[in-house]
């Protein structure tokens, strides 16, 4: 099948803006993925227009994120952050803004739609039908997977989301999975057709996230040079399990009280999702465990500062219950800092067990304490992992991600034009 040139992509990210700071609210790895892949696509000569919901009245209708990349802010609901549970009620308003934008131009403005997360997929579904272009969709997270791996006290994803995801899987021309594991979950849990699923690994910005002096990073962050730093980076919510790190640190101090004068447990991020119900949970838990003196809670940091946190750490801890990939793990390794991660989802790809870090089965604080203790007491072993971490991360670059996405886009366009296009006759009823 002859590939067709893709000139302009409509990227849909309804519930979170690529301009938001990752690590708080709904902004996380997906935001990084959209920004970095869009920049690299633009460098390949593809124009990218990102549609997102306006969360402030003073946001410009159109903002340039980078040369060749525009962010379009669409009015859909109140000018404030909305809980994702309230987002389906704004799907019609958001879709209307997407369709009005395309209608301002000559027909055929967009060659392909790439939607991110199921809400955006619902919008992409209808835009695809109206414009006659293929829909490429990336889940990032899946309700059925999350519901199989719930943290204690976490709320299951609603059936409406499960249904909405199923609809997107059935209508999308291509589904982009971050890893082979995710591709398998799409096929096993949602019945996705194998020939519609493409595996494209996310990347890491190897210019920003690269090895540098640990001592200099600690000076800039105000950390003692002789500290033993355990680092968590991400949104503070049950799914990401920062409490596992705190409980493991408490166990480490019980077993070795002399460690207290050197231990620093740093959590960089802000409350998000179900974590918004208890924004002071980590502060309260640290007090309950008697480790408030070693815990540092740090607001979400821009990339340059975040790179310093990775460099300053002895190990980055990623104890999530579910991860479609785990960009934090990759960023840390690119800085030369090994990772202790839960053996779930995409983390099994992002971390090479025994080479760039350690994969831990389950979330037992005793087991995590045993693993983390080795990082702070075995410097030679940690140095070997540090070297492995750098080598492992070097194989992941956003340029490769963008190139592979281009292949997916052009393949979807070529396939659409090689078969008769019939109306699906679907009615709009987003869940």
84 marked as part of a ligand binding site: yes
Average pLDDT over residues 337-360: 96
Residue with more model confidence, 16 or 121: 121
The answer on pLDDT for 272 being more than 80 is: no
Binding site annotation covers 334?
no
Q: Is 21 marked as a binding-site residue?
A: yes
- What's the pLDDT tens digit per position in 24-78? 566 677 888 999 999 999 999 999 999 999 988 889 999 999 999 999 999 998 8
Task: Tell me whether residue 191 is annotated as binding.
Answer: no
Calculate what percentage of the chain has a pLDDT beyond 90.
77
pLDDT computed for residue 25 by the predictor: 60
Does 310 count as an annotated binding residue? yes
Average pLDDT over the chain, rounded to an integer: 91
pLDDT category of residue 145 using cuts at 50, 70 and 90: very high
Compute the average pLDDT of residues 207-214.
96
pLDDT at 377 over 90: yes
Q: Is 30 annotated as a binding residue?
A: yes
| pLDDT of residue 279 exceeding 70 | no
Q: Report the range of poorest mean pLDDT among 83-87, 268-272, 291-295.
A: 83-87
CA distances from 407 to 110, 198, 200, 402 (A): 16, 10, 10, 9
Q: Is 190 known to sit in a ligand binding site?
A: no
Q: Per the annotation, does 383 bind a ligand?
A: no
pLDDT at 431: 29
- The full set of domain ranges for the chain reads 8-203+397-417, 214-392
Distance between start and end Cα atoms, the chain: 36
Mean pLDDT to the nearest integer, 219-245: 95
**Beta-strand relationship, 315-318 and 228-233:** parallel
Distance CA 22, CA 44 (A): 25
pLDDT at residue 154, as a whole number: 79
Q: Quick check: 424 pLDDT over 80? A: no
Q: Any idea which of 204-208, 279-283, 396-400 has the lowest mean pLDDT?
A: 279-283
Asked if residue 89 has pLDDT above 70, the reply is yes
Q: Which pLDDT score is estimated for 203?
A: 93
240 has binding-site annotation: yes
- Is 313 a known ligand-binding residue? yes
Q: Could you identify the residue written with the tokens 């000139």?
A: 7
Specify the pLDDT at position 427: 30
User: Is 214-392 the same fold as 8-203+397-417?
Assistant: yes
* pLDDT recorded at residue 29: 79
Report, at the CATH architecture level, how domain 214-392 is classified: 3-Layer(aba) Sandwich (3.40)
pLDDT for res 51? 97
- To the question of whether residue 401 is assigned a binding role by annotation, the answer is no
Residue 15 annotated as lining a ligand binding site: yes
Q: Is 146 helix (H, G, I), strand (E, B) or coil?
A: helix
Report the pLDDT value the prediction gives residue 22, as an integer from 0 to 100.
65
Residue 83 in this model has a pLDDT that exceeds 80: no
Q: What fold is seen in the domain 8-203+397-417?
A: Rossmann fold (3.40.50)
113 touches 133 (CB < 8 A): yes
Region for residue 228 given its phi and psi (left: phi exceeds 0; alpha: psi -120 to 50; beta: otherwise): beta
Give the pLDDT score at 1. Answer: 47
Does the annotation list 128 as a binding residue?
A: no
Please state the rounded mean pLDDT for residues 354-381.
97
Q: How high is the pLDDT of residue 425?
A: 34
Q: In which band, very low, low, confident or very high, does the pLDDT at 80 lie, cut at 50, 70 and 90? A: confident
- Give buried/exposed letters for 146-173 (b at 16+ CB in 10 A, else e): bbebebeebeebeeebbebbbbbbebbb
Beta-carbon contacts of 63 under 8 Å, excluding residues fewer than 6 positions away, are 19, 70, 71, 73
Asked whether the beta carbons of 344 and 322 are under 8 A apart, the reply is yes
What value does the mean pLDDT take over residues 384-407? 96
d(CA 287, CA 265) in angstroms, rounded, equals 13
């Amino acid at each position: 099948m002859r590939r067709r040139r893709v000139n302009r992509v409509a990227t849909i990210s309804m519930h979170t803006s690529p301009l938001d700071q990752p690590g708080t609210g709904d902004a996380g790895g997906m935001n990084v993925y959209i920004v970095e892949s869009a920049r690299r696509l633009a460098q390949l000569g593809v124009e990218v227009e990102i549609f997102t919901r306006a969360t402030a009245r003073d946001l410009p209708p159109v903002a340039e994120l980078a040369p060749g990349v525009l962010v379009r802010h669409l009015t859909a609901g109140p000018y404030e952050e909305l809980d994702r549970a309230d987002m389906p009620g704004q799907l019609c308003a958001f879709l209307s803004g997407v369709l009005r934008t395309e209608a301002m131009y000559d027909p055929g403005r967009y060659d392909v739609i790439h939607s991110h997360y199921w809400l955006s997929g619902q919008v992409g579904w209808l835009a695809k039908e109206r414009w006659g272009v293929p829909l490429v969709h990336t889940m990032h997270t899946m309700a059925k997977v999350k519901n199989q791996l719930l943290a204690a006290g976490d709320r299951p994803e609603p059936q409406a989301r499960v249904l909405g995801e199923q609809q997107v899987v059935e209508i999308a021309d291509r589904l982009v999975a971050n890893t082979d594991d995710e591709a398998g979950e799409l096929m096993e849990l949602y019945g996705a057709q194998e020939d519609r699923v493409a595996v494209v690994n996310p990347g890491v910005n190897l210019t920003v996230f690269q090895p540098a002096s640990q001592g200099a990073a600690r000076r800039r962050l105000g950390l003692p040079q002789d500290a033993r730093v355990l680092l968590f980076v991400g949104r503070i919510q049950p799914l990401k399990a920062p409490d596992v790190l705190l409980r493991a640190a408490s166990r480490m101090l019980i077993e070795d009280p002399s460690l207290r004068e050197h231990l620093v447990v740093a959590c960089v991020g802000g409350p998000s999702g179900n974590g918004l119900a208890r924004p002071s949970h980590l502060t309260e838990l640290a007090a309950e465990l008697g480790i408030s003196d070693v815990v540092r809670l740090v607001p979400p940091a821009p990339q340059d500062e975040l790179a310093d946190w990775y460099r300053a750490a002895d190990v980055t801890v990623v104890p999530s219950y579910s991860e479609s990939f785990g960009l934090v793990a990759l960023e840390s390794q690119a800085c030369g800092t090994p990772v202790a991660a839960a053996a779930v989802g995409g983390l099994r790809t992002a971390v090479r067990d025994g080479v760039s870090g350690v994969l831990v089965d389950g979330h037992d604080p005793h087991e995590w304490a045993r693993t983390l203790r080795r990082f702070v007491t075995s410097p030679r072993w940690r140095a070997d992992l540090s070297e492995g971490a750098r080598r492992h991360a070097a194989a992941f670059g956003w340029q490769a991600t963008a190139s592979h996405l281009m292949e997916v886009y052009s393949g979807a366009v070529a396939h659409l034009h090689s078969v008769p296009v019939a109306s699906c006759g679907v009615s709009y009823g987003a869940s």
